[in-house]
Amino acid sequence: MRERYESMLGKGDNQAIREVNRSIILDLVRRAGRVSRTELARRSKLTKPTVSTIIDEFIDDGTVREVGLGESLSGGGRPARLLEFNDASAAYLGIHFGMRATRVAVADARGIIRVVRGRPSLRNAAARASKVVRSAVTEALQAAKIPWTRVAAAGATVPGLVDQETGVCVLAPNLAWQDVPLREALQDELRVPVVVNNITQASAVAEGRVGAARGVRSYVWLYVGSGVGAGIVIDGRLFHGQSGFSGEIGHCPVSDDGPPCGCGRRGCLETVASTMALLRAVEDAIASKQATRLVRVEGRLDVAAIAAAAAQGDAVAKRILAQGSEHLGRGISYLLNILNPEMIVLGGPVIEAGEPFLHEVRASVARHALLPRGVAIVPSTLGDRAELTGSVLLAMEKIVRSYRIVGSHDVRARSATEL
């Protein structure tokens, strides 16, 4: 076992080997429920003294606790002392800057979200965003009965381009943000380490860990809402690109004389395939007095209402959804032709359109992709929790790198960005 570690981490790097061992044991305890030191040694293939030393360190810092005795060991010896992961040993924050609302989640040490609080988003007022977040965090921590001192890290997501090196939000058109030092501002306000990602990248991480893409090695998480963007996972790794700007398929022009886009260009995919594009088409139909049962309910209209009207035979609703599915399928076909993923996961408000809309999207993909066979196109199972779940997982990764046992013989690193 030691030889395998040294081959993986660099021969003689004892500190790195020790950290790998600690992370493997911690991950086993976190996933095991209640477990003994002997069982941990068996599962990890580490020696019992090594496991005991690591567990004693975790007990001392409160990460792991003893919870009683198990059954007697074979041969009638003393019963084993059982261990369990301490959910209250740390807390993590997830922050999502949406077009209309900024949401903050407080999660326990397992990454399970306990409380969510929200505030209206500040369009064209990025300088005040971190203070709004602190207010929401304070409220959420109080509701969760968790002290500030327990917060270990925060993950933030933003609907735009994020420079992974600097944590700067280079451009978020729908928030009218440009060159915002978001990581620095949040760290100054929250006083904890912060990691910042595009919402689609964070959502892709969540979907691969606990959602529809669990166990899938290569997939694309495609957000379709006010904008269109992709989180790309290739061979188990989140693909950021050179600076973190990967996945901006929504800002690929598909029509030279199409509608203006928030990025400053015209005819981008999101101007014809986003839910905002669908709603604009409905507004135009209502304004031009076309025969439709679509109306604003209390000043509001959403994709679910369009889908319901289409299901009832409304010609305008059916036409708008057909056009939207055609454009979206064409965009997905580009992803298939270039990346050849195993799965496309659709997230965002578009999934409110339901299975008939997805059926039309799949049909469009079949018409436009070179080899669409075998590629599943499925809705997200996380819904509007994807962004916050992903931001929490990436915050955890900032503090505790996860190393897991793979198979019965191999040991390798497996982080939040390596799914």
Q: Do residues 198 and 244 both lie within one domain?
A: no
Q: Look at 131-140, 226-235, 257-266, 337-346 and tell me which has the smallest mean pLDDT.
A: 257-266
Domain termination site, one of 54, 88, 122? 88
CATH number of the domain within which 94 lies: 3.30.420.40
Q: How far apart are CA 388 and CA 156, in angstroms?
A: 8
Q: Does residue 411 carry a pLDDT above 60?
A: no
Cα pseudo-dihedral 157, 239, 364, 264, rounded to 10 = 60
pLDDT average, residue stretch 114-140: 91
Are 332 and 377 spatial neighbours (Cβ–Cβ below 8 Å)? Answer: yes
- Is 405 contained in some domain? no
- Single pTM value for the model: 0.81
- Specify the pLDDT at position 5: 43
- Mean of the per-residue pLDDT values of the chain: 87
Q: Do residues 107 and 167 both lie within one domain?
A: yes
- Is 62 contained in some domain? yes
- Is 417 contained in some domain? no
pLDDT average, residue stretch 299-307: 84
> What would the pLDDT profile of 58-110 be if each residue is shown by its tens digit?
999 889 999 877 665 555 567 788 999 999 889 999 999 988 899 999 999 98
First to last CA, the chain: 23
Q: Do residues 226 and 333 both lie within one domain?
A: yes
Q: Do residues 308 and 343 both lie within one domain?
A: yes
- Is 325 contained in some domain? yes
Q: Does residue 169 carry a pLDDT above 80?
A: yes
Q: In what order do the strands lie in the sheet with 228-234?
A: 237-239, 228-234, 219-224, 343-347, 376-379
Q: Do residues 296 and 369 both lie within one domain?
A: yes
Q: Does residue 137 carry a pLDDT above 80?
A: yes
- Is 404 contained in some domain? no
Q: Do residues 113 and 136 both lie within one domain?
A: yes
Residue 221: burial class (beta carbons within 10 Å; 0-12, 13-18, 19+): buried
Q: Do residues 374 and 291 both lie within one domain?
A: yes
Confidence band of 33 (pLDDT split at 50, 70, 90): confident
Residue 249: burial class (beta carbons within 10 Å; 0-12, 13-18, 19+): buried
Confidence band of 323 (pLDDT split at 50, 70, 90): very high
Q: Do residues 46 and 181 both lie within one domain?
A: no
Among 362, 335, 349, CA closest to 250: 335
Decide: helix, strand or coil at residue 337: helix
Domain termination site, one of 62, 88, 114? 88
Decide: helix, strand or coil at residue 269: coil
Provide the token pair at 60.
């001392």
Q: Do residues 68 and 106 both lie within one domain?
A: no
Query: How many residues are given for the chain?
Result: 419
Q: Do residues 292 and 255 both lie within one domain?
A: yes
- Is 55 contained in some domain? yes
Q: How far apart are CA 34 and CA 47, in angstroms?
A: 19
- Is 80 contained in some domain? yes
Q: Do residues 222 and 280 both lie within one domain?
A: yes
- Specify the pLDDT at position 297: 55
Q: Look at 30-34, 117-121, 206-210, 235-239 and tell me which has the smallest mean pLDDT.
A: 30-34
CATH number of the domain within which 10 lies: 1.10.10.10
- Is 403 contained in some domain? no
Q: Do residues 201 and 218 both lie within one domain?
A: no
Query: ∠ CA 216-230-311 to the nearest 5 degrees?
Result: 90
Q: Does residue 412 carry a pLDDT above 70?
A: no
Q: 107: domain range?
A: 90-205+386-398
Domain count for the chain, please give it.
3
> What would the pLDDT profile of 327-374 be if each residue is shown by its tens digit?
999 999 999 999 999 999 999 999 999 999 999 999 999 999 998 888
